[in-house]
């Protein structure tokens, strides 16, 4: 087939392409994935019984805001990385800022605590299960996001996969706050972050393998 | 007109054509792809000078990619950056398949270079997309043949093939994606 014939073929009956396809794809993936994460949480872990009481404490909202703001930064990064030639812009700063803030809060909490109390702030009662639970809850969103990205056109595949992984990890972490009994900033800065980094690393590994087009 | 002026004139003209094309103006879309193909040819020819036989295949593969991924273009974004990123991706993909990164003779990172030159002399493609098209399953091949090659409408194609209108549209869309995937695969086997 000659190139001119290919061009004629591609143009014939091409029709209109509605704008905003990437955003719609991401919205679908996030809604479906977050719903999946809620179901997994309800079946596997259950919502903490004293949620209404816990929600009165300011630290509960800090715990929710940390993954929620990371989610926003990762969403911006993933959307940009799904379009050829789009600049990542503020996305890296949007990801770094929540981590910097939680580490700052963690540092203040650790410095202000009595030496014997510090270990408790960092490890809480559930440090061993938290990263694993966050990673498991991220799985439905992770799969949905790879589907969304596969229908778009990422050109930096490892980075795009990592952004999708972080986005799914942050969504999993937001859902996990409904179960998790911990409230200390050092705990969040260590184990929540570690849990979100598991799907991030997996995404960076899988990106070049499954996102090619 | 100087070099930069030519590039930015090409940028605004091509962007205008593409935006109209995405809104449904087929003639504008056709003109856009034609002009893009000349820019891509010059850009790629300069970058894989040691693989002259591959240029036209890669031009076709990149055009197919541009068409299949056209929903990812945002009108607020420079077209140069979008086209360059796709061409660069397809070029690196080819070089990876060839394991011949040393064939690169010019720097690859200057995105303005993609519209800097134009070459309308198409050599023959070595890989024949028409032959690959024949290998698609009927539910994808027939909609492409009737709609894209014979220029029939969705309704007419649906009537001739006995498929539903939505199946015809999905067939065209998936068929062109499958064609792009086969082109890559075919290249690996060669």
pLDDT in tens, B2-43: 777 878 888 999 999 999 999 999 999 999 999 999 999 999
Query: Does position A121 have pLDDT exceeding 70, yes or no?
Result: yes
Tell me what the mean pLDDT of segment A131-151 comes to: 96
Q: Determine what percent of chain A is predicted with pLDDT higher than 70.
A: 100
B75 touches chain A (CB under 8 A): yes
Q: Of the residues B126, B144, B177, which one is the last residue of a structural domain?
A: B126
How many independent structural domains does chain B possess? 2
Q: Give the span between the Cα atoms of A21 and A148, in whole angstroms.
A: 10
Q: Where are the alpha helices (DSSP H) in A45-57?
A: 51-54
- Residue A127 C-beta-side C-alpha neighbours within 13 Å: 14
My answer on whether B87 and B120 are in the same domain is yes
Q: Give the span between the Cα atoms of A80 and A42, in whole angstroms.
A: 33
Render A135-158 in DSSP notation, one character per residue.
HHHHHHHHHHHHHHHHTS--SSHH
pLDDT in tens, A91-102: 999 999 999 999
Q: Determine what percent of chain B is predicted with pLDDT higher than 90.
A: 56
pLDDT value of position B104: 55
Query: Does position A144 have pLDDT exceeding 70, yes or no?
Result: yes
Q: Give the span between the Cα atoms of B74 and A84, in whole angstroms.
A: 10
My answer on whether B74 and B56 are in the same domain is yes
My answer on whether B122 and B134 are in the same domain is no
For residue B131, what is the domain's CATH number?
Answer: 1.10.10.10
Q: With CB atoms and an 8 Å threshold, state whether A13 touches B24.
A: no
Return the higher-pLDDT residue of A47 and B157.
B157
pLDDT value of position A201: 98
Return the SS3 of A15: coil
Q: Of the residues B111, B126, B141, which one is the last residue of a structural domain?
A: B126
Best residue in A1, A2, A3 for a mutation probing chain B (most B CBs within 10 Å): A3
Best residue in A26, A85, A150 for a mutation probing chain B (most B CBs within 10 Å): A85
My answer on whether B137 and B118 are in the same domain is no
Write out the residue range of the structural domain in which residue B143 sits: 127-190
My answer on whether B71 and B102 are in the same domain is yes
Q: Which residue in the set B56, B72, B152 is minimally distant from A84, CB to CB?
A: B72
pLDDT value of position A210: 94
pLDDT confidence tier of residue B107, bands split at 50, 70 and 90 = low
Q: What is the mean pLDDT of chain A?
A: 93
My answer on whether B93 and B174 are in the same domain is no
Query: Does position B88 have pLDDT exceeding 80, yes or no?
Result: yes
pLDDT confidence tier of residue B111, bands split at 50, 70 and 90 = confident
Lowest-pLDDT range, A4-8, A32-36, A184-188, B6-10? B6-10
Rounded (5°) CA angle A180-A185-A187: 55
Contact of B143 with B133, CB cutoff 8 Å: no
Tell me what the mean pLDDT of segment A185-203 comes to: 96
My answer on whether B82 and B150 are in the same domain is no
pLDDT value of position B190: 54
Return the higher-pLDDT residue of A148 and A56.
A148
Tell me what the mean pLDDT of segment A184-189 comes to: 93
pLDDT value of position B1: 56
Kind and range of the H or E element at A85?
Answer: none
Q: Give the span between the Cα atoms of B130 and A28, in whole angstroms.
A: 36
List % helix, strand, coil for chain A (3-state, nearest 5).
75, 0, 25
My answer on whether B11 and B72 are in the same domain is yes
Q: What is the mean pLDDT of chain B?
A: 87
Q: With CB atoms and an 8 Å threshold, state whether B22 touches A86.
A: no
Which residue bears the tokens 């935006």?
B19
My answer on whether B120 and B178 are in the same domain is no
pLDDT value of position A65: 95
My answer on whether B91 and B32 are in the same domain is yes
pLDDT value of position A15: 85
pLDDT value of position B189: 57
Q: Give the span between the Cα atoms of B49 and B60, in whole angstroms.
A: 17
- Nearest chain B residue (CA) to A208: B93
Chain B closest CA to A143's CA: distance in Å?
20
B59 touches chain A (CB under 8 A): yes
pLDDT value of position B108: 67
Q: Give the span between the Cα atoms of A92 and A76, in whole angstroms.
A: 9
Pick from B79-88, B101-110, B115-124 the range whose average pLDDT is largest.
B79-88
My answer on whether B150 and B110 are in the same domain is no
pTM, 2 dp: 0.87
pLDDT value of position B187: 66
Query: Does position B101 have pLDDT exceeding 70, yes or no?
Result: no
Q: Which residue in the set B59, B85, B147 is minimally distant from A3, CB to CB?
A: B59
Chain B residues closer than 8 Å to A19 by CB: 22, 74-75
Tell me what the mean pLDDT of segment B91-108 comes to: 69
My answer on whether B89 and B133 are in the same domain is no
Q: Of the residues B94, B111, B126, which one is the last residue of a structural domain?
A: B126
DSSP state of B144: I
């Amino acid at each position: 087939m000659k190139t001119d014939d290919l061009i004629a073929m591609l143009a014939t009956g091409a029709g209109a392409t509605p704008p905003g396809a990437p955003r719609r794809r991401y919205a679908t993936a996030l809604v479906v994935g977050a719903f999946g994460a809620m179901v997994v949480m309800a079946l596997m872990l259950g919502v903490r019984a004293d949620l209404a009481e816990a929600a009165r404490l300011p630290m509960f909202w800090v715990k929710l805001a940390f993954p929620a703001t990371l989610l926003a930064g990762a969403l911006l990064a993933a959307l940009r990385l799904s379009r050829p030639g789009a600049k990542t812009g503020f996305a890296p700063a949007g990801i770094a800022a929540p981590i910097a803030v939680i580490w700052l809060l963690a540092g203040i909490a650790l410095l202000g605590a009595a030496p014997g109390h510090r270990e408790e702030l960092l490890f809480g009662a559930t440090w061993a299960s938290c990263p694993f639970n966050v990673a498991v809850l991220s799985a439905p969103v992770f799969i949905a996001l790879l589907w969304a990205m596969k229908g778009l056109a990422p050109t930096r595949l490892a980075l795009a996969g990592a952004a999708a992984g972080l986005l799914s990890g942050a969504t999993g972490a937001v859902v996990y706050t409904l179960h998790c009994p911990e409230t200390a900033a050092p705990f969040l800065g260590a184990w929540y972050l570690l849990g979100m980094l598991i799907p991030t690393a997996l995404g960076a590994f899988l990106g070049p393998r499954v996102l090619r087009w | 007109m100087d070099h930069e002026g030519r590039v930015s004139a090409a940028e605004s003209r091509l962007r205008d054509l593409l935006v109209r094309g995405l809104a449904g103006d087929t003639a504008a879309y056709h003109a856009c792809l034609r002009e893009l193909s000349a820019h891509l040819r010059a850009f790629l020819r300069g970058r894989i000078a040691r693989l002259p036989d591959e240029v036209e295949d890669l031009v076709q593969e990149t055009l197919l990619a541009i068409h299949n991924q056209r929903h990812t273009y945002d009108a607020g974004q420079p077209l140069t950056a979008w086209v360059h990123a796709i061409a660069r991706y397809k070029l690196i993909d080819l070089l990876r398949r060839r394991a011949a990164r040393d064939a690169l003779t010019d720097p690859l990172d200057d995105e303005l270079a993609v519209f800097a030159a134009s070459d309308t002399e198409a050599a023959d493609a070595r890989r024949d997309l028409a032959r690959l098209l024949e290998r698609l399953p009927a539910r994808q091949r027939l909609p492409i043949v009737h709609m894209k090659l014979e220029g029939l409408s969705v309704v007419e194609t649906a009537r001739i093939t006995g498929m539903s209108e939505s199946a015809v549209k999905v067939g065209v869309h998936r068929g062109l994606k499958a064609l792009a995937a086969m082109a890559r695969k075919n290249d690996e086997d060669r």
